[in-house]
Structure 1
Amino acid sequence: MMDSQDQTSRSGGVSGPSWGVVLVFFAVLVALFFVQLFATFRGISSPATMDAAQVAREIARGNGFHTKLIRPYAWQQQLKAGKDAPLEQMVDTHQPPLPTLLMVPMMQAFKGHWEFPESSRIYPLDRVIVGASLLLFVASIGLAYLTVQRVFDAWIAGWTVILMLLCQYFWEVGRSGLTPMMLLFFFNLALYWLVGAMEAVEEGRPGVARYAVGLGLVTACMVMTHWMALWLMLGLTVAAAIWLRPRALALAVLLPSVLVLAAWGWRNQMVGGDALGSSKAMLQAALMMPGDTWLLRDFSGTSPPVDVGFLLRKTLSNLIDQLGTLYLHLGSILPAGLFFLALLHPFKRGETRNLRWALAIVWGMALVGMSIVGLPEKEFDENQMHQIFIPLFAAYGLAFLTVLWARLGFTHAGWWGKNALVVTAVLISILPMARSLPLEVLAGLYNKGQFAHWPPYLPDRIAKVRDFVGEKELVYTDMPWAVAWYADRKAVWLPMEVAQFNEMRDRSKAHGEEVAGMLFTPFSSRVSNVTDVFSSEYRAWAPEVYRGSGIGLGLDTLSTGTFPYKEIFPLAGQPVGTRFLVQMAFMSDRRRWEAEAAK
């Protein structure tokens, strides 16, 4: 419970919530779970989740960690290691293994739904994966309650989980993919172990080593869930070295992560020729000028020089950008932002004081990592880790508000008077859900299963590519993760240069793997101005990117020339007056779709 100095005017003292409140909470939880999974569901929008899911499906088939997402960077790594094998033998060395392994039982249980249904734009397995993601979020709510209750009391814990439940940002992230909710779950579990260790140290009880080992094992799980969790691991190790006794127990936190990373690095060296795998591009991109997307699409095998000045400027720019939008990164939860003011309050309980500084250290480490890597997609970026700190940040913010309000002397003003400040902060924090959820529900009910993340994703249209492409053929595309997942075909990420494509095509042809064609989507044309594509990372493919729109306007820039894939099949677009601008198109060397239609 909170220290006596900070005991505030909470009606009912520190007793837990009534059964009526608990039943209402769970009723709202269940309702929101099914609303998010069915009414507002639009399919997966996370490339990392699609990538992990297609690898999980290959494992379920008995093919091991084979991947149908071919990154030119990974391909070149294997060639340098002397592994010139067919692409159907490409092994994934990019993704951490835990999200993939978690999805394997789902793939096996729903094997009958691998084929894409004709009556919906939503892939059934998308809903299965997001269902698991939301269940992890629900479990995280429970863990957060237990942890906050140990640090403060049931009252603060109750308001914390209410904030989590009504945080629109959590639900949006949860239904976009699996990895963020896995990381949230493991981080909350790690904090539960850390609080237990701190309590044992403060009270002089035995068992600190047991908590430290548990913390280390969970930290290893975080690292195997998301590579950015390496920064969390460093932060937790520093916190353990400061507050656990003996200090050598910090090794128990660090060692499991080191061992699993060493084992995974050895595995990557054996199958891909590099201990870091293709995720090495993320590290290189942090130290060099191009982003990791440019490097992953580069088949040249050359690395640009390290630019220290650029690294410093980029890191500082990313840091300023994150701090300027921190409220959004923290889910627009007002009490979470007040955590930094709570650092100034002298909590009497040792574990309460220590945990807040431990959180600050771990968050600071994560902030450094995110500043180096960058968050181009802002609060919905795959590398965004601010959201996992929201529950405990919010708990400290709520405790701080409670203390301030109590010191104003409203100790005999009834329940509403005693809790007015906290209630106001909660109401402000749930405004995003109050604004967006009704509109999303109405749109979802109106579309009846036809709601998708368009642009750039239309799963049913992407799945159509499967009909035109054989199992041994390749598709070159700007969205290989979606083709590998929805169309279940080998998809090669478009290389940086046309000359690289020609070399890659010749290499795969030598192994009997022909190129069936190319798929272009709005992913490569996401620019502020139409002309921006000519200076973007897809500038080498600008004529192909805009070919569909050009044909809609009566101009085909590829009707002549040496481009081998002149036949075009429109998959999606929009009418503009009497014209139809194609936004997603499959291009091939022959009219494969006519042969399919004749069957």
Structure 2
Amino acid sequence: MADNRSFESTLHDIVYSIDTGTGLKIIRVTLYVLLLLVIVMVYTATQFRGLKTEEAMDYAQLGRNMSIQGGMVTKAVRPLTMWKVQQRTAGENPLIAGHPDMYHAPAYPALLAVGFKMFDFIGVDPFAMPEGGRGVAMDAERWVILPLNHLFAILTGWIVFSLGKRLFSREIGFMGMTIYYLSDLVWQDSISGLNLSMAIFFIAASFHALVVSMLNKRDGDPKLYWITPFIVSIFCAAIAFLTRYIALAAVPGLCLFAWLMCGRFRGGTRFVVVFLLLYTMLITPWLVRNVKVSGNPAGMVGYTALADSPRFPDNSLDREYHPDIAPSSMVTALKQKWILNYSGKHDSVIPALGGGILMAMFIVTFFYHFVRPQVNYLRWGLGISLLLMVVLAGFFSESSIHMIHAFWPFIILYGLAFFYILIDRLDLGVRIYNLGLKCLIVVLAIIPFGLTLMPPHENHPYPPYHAPIIARVGEMLNEREVMCTDMPWATAWYGNRVSILLPKDLDQFYEINDYKQYISGMYFTTITKNKPFVKQLLDGPEKSWLPVMSGRPPPDFPLKEGVALNRQDQIFLSDRDRWSGQSAATPAAE
């Protein structure tokens, strides 16, 4: 039947929709999304100047290797992993050309590999070095690594809204999402190039899916409506672990929440057993792979815990070709590292000013009983996982400590919920007073974000990283040749060359070069050259390398030709002159 409504009536309906109905919601959502995109672009433009951590470059080069070779192999080779691989291969072969990675989980490199493959599919090289000496970021960083991390950060904000609306109210969910998007630590994690944003998203998604599952089961919904999110929660938890091993700390909290929600001993145990069985089945193939290449389900994680401890400062453990690790000294080293980590990085546990306020309110909620039991049960699950992650993270790197940010979405929601309870108890009566207090908590929470955007902005990551210089050094070797350097993660990523980390001393270099892998070039940067002269270079652990860096190598040293780079900041040594046919000048790091 034809629509006989007049044009005026149709126009009136459209105007009414825009004014109060669906149209108004669409406009509001669109404006919110546009504002979010502006925030992301401004933050990235002012704070990102290229990858600046060895772990981020390690992940990037692993993603490229996976996109080309299809396996978890690395071009950043450590003497320590050479020693480990030799123990498990015929003829004590360290497998330099296809060296298996034993430090990192596979999910994030696999995702990067998919992104890199998409560039190949459209015929664009994402690894081409930017033109001009001031270029510091490849297309792969700007159009694959950053967008993927930003996407996970944005999706996590949506989970904050959805979970806040389900547990508390729509207003708390919206406020929580807004605070999350205006949190400095969220975007710092996102532009770091690490797998933090991805791991945080899957941890949050796992808790969210489990909350949906348990509430649907409690409300008597059809089995499909609670079994599906329950399975999704397990998958998300497994992906989180395969993104970053320390995400395992979320599993006890998930299991505790399911156990409490399902009646404890009246059926809750059954759900916990199913959760753990399916979770274990999903992660077992990767654990088996680690056992094959390293003899340990967690790969080299145990050695990572010892790295940068008082017993093995900086990366000295990775440089050991013949490590001597006494079990008696391991416990002491781990204790000292844990204490030193948190004495210097405690601000990562209570992030910034706004985070401190909401964290304080989150902690107070453990002494308050909410009306809704699911809110109390989830809080105890989060508390157990947070405590476990704090304990575990202290034994590892700074990025592991930053994984505590995985609980920031929940801290925001519980902190806001308790703040709203306090406002209700005050019974101010005047609506504008309540609104003013709510605005105040948002302003206090986003102060670190605002201060970060103010000048001065982030500088280029030199020293020691400057992509054009590193790429030029890589071009001096062909794809089959191997170099030795003090930053193999950078030469593997920007130079795309197999690079062995500078061994502990000259004797270990000779052993590797003479019996395991011929080394065609050696690249020293400010990582080594800027070390304390007397304490490290003249009469310390680097004393065997000082003559080599100073242009006075031993008579039997195989790399006798050298060229200074970037105003004498760096030096490249080789077995022959590889640079005379090229311009001797190199782009200076700005």
Shorter-chain TM-score category?
0.7 to 0.9
Q: Work out which of the residue numbers 84, 98, 111 in structure 2 matches 1:77.
A: 84
Contact (CA 8 Å) 1:468, 1:596: kept in 2 or not?
Answer: no
Contact (CA 8 Å) 2:348, 2:401: kept in 1 or not?
Answer: no
287 and 177 in structure 1: CA distance in 2 versus 1, 3 angstrom threshold: closer
Cross-structure match for 1:3:
none
434 and 23 in structure 1: CA distance in 2 versus 1, 3 angstrom threshold: same
322 and 54 in structure 1: CA distance in 2 versus 1, 3 angstrom threshold: closer
Cross-structure match for 1:98:
107
The 5 A counterparts of 1:163-182 are: 163-182=179-198
287 and 494 in structure 1: CA distance in 2 versus 1, 3 angstrom threshold: closer
The 5 A counterparts of 1:429-444 are: 429-439=445-455
After superposition, the C-alpha distances for 1:329-356 in whole angstroms (9 at most, x for unaligned) are: 7974632442111222221011111111
Separation in structure 2 between the aligned mates of residue 108 and residue 410 of structure 1, nearest angstrom: 58
After superposition, the C-alpha distances for 1:417-466 in whole angstroms (9 at most, x for unaligned) are: 112223212112222222221426xx58xxxxxx6322232112111112
Q: How far did 1:68 drift?
A: 0.9
Contact (CA 8 Å) 1:75, 1:299: kept in 2 or not?
Answer: yes
Cross-structure match for 2:141:
126
Structure 1 alignment gaps of length 5 or more: 1-16, 445-450, 548-555, 574-581
Matched to 2:287, the amino acid is G
256 and 425 in structure 1: CA distance in 2 versus 1, 3 angstrom threshold: same
Cross-structure match for 2:522:
518
Matched, 1:26 2:41: no
Q: What secondary structure sits across from 2:526 in the alignment?
A: coil
Q: How far did 1:306 drift?
A: 3.5
Matched to 2:230, the amino acid is A
Matched to 2:97, the amino acid is E
Q: What secondary structure sits across from 1:110 in the alignment?
A: helix
After superposition, the C-alpha distances for 1:185-241 in whole angstroms (9 at most, x for unaligned) are: 101101211222342465465645544332222111111000111222344334434
Q: Work out which of the residue numbers 126, 145, 159 in structure 2 matches 1:113.
A: 126
Matched, 1:506 2:522: no
Aligned-pair RMSD on alpha carbons?
Answer: 3.2
Q: What secondary structure sits across from 1:222 in the alignment?
A: helix
Q: Work out which of the residue numbers 568, 577, 583 in structure 2 matches 1:591.
A: 577
Q: Work out which of the residue numbers 358, 369, 375 in structure 2 matches 1:335.
A: 358
Cross-structure match for 1:233:
251
Separation in structure 1 between the aligned mates of residue 203 and residue 539 of structure 2, nearest angstrom: 37
26 and 366 in structure 1: CA distance in 2 versus 1, 3 angstrom threshold: same
Contact (CA 8 Å) 2:160, 2:413: kept in 1 or not?
Answer: no
Q: What secondary structure sits across from 1:121 in the alignment?
A: coil
Greater CA drift, 233-242 or 399-408: 233-242
TM-score by length of 1: 0.82
Cross-structure match for 1:296:
318
Matched to 1:401, the amino acid is F
Matched to 1:521, the amino acid is T
262 and 571 in structure 1: CA distance in 2 versus 1, 3 angstrom threshold: same
Q: How far did 1:531 drift?
A: 4.4
Matched, 1:215 2:201: no
Q: How far did 1:78 drift?
A: 1.6
313 and 67 in structure 1: CA distance in 2 versus 1, 3 angstrom threshold: closer
Q: What secondary structure sits across from 1:492 in the alignment?
A: strand
The 5 A counterparts of 1:274-293 are: 274-282=296-304, 289-290=311-312, 293=315
Contact (CA 8 Å) 1:36, 1:171: kept in 2 or not?
Answer: yes
Greater CA drift, 121-130 or 300-309: 300-309
Structure 2 alignment gaps of length 5 or more: 1-23, 585-590
Q: Work out which of the residue numbers 245, 250, 253 in structure 1 matches 2:275.
A: 253
135 and 316 in structure 1: CA distance in 2 versus 1, 3 angstrom threshold: same
Matched, 1:68 2:49: no
After superposition, the C-alpha distances for 1:36-85 in whole angstroms (9 at most, x for unaligned) are: 44454311224333222222222322353332111212211121113416
Matched to 1:213, the amino acid is I
Matched, 1:159 2:175: yes
Separation in structure 2 between the aligned mates of residue 46 and residue 532 of structure 1, nearest angstrom: 25
Point out the structure with max Rg over C-alpha.
Answer: 2
Matched, 1:51 2:58: yes
TM-score by length of 2: 0.83
The 5 A counterparts of 1:473-492 are: 473-492=481-500
Q: How far did 1:258 drift?
A: 2.2
Contact (CA 8 Å) 2:210, 2:230: kept in 1 or not?
Answer: yes
Contact (CA 8 Å) 1:76, 1:300: kept in 2 or not?
Answer: yes
Greater CA drift, 516-525 or 155-164: 516-525
Matched to 1:523, the amino acid is I
Contact (CA 8 Å) 2:565, 2:572: kept in 1 or not?
Answer: yes
Give aligned pairs, total.
546
Cross-structure match for 2:564:
570
Q: How far did 1:584 drift?
A: 3.1
Percent sequence identity is 25
268 and 326 in structure 1: CA distance in 2 versus 1, 3 angstrom threshold: closer
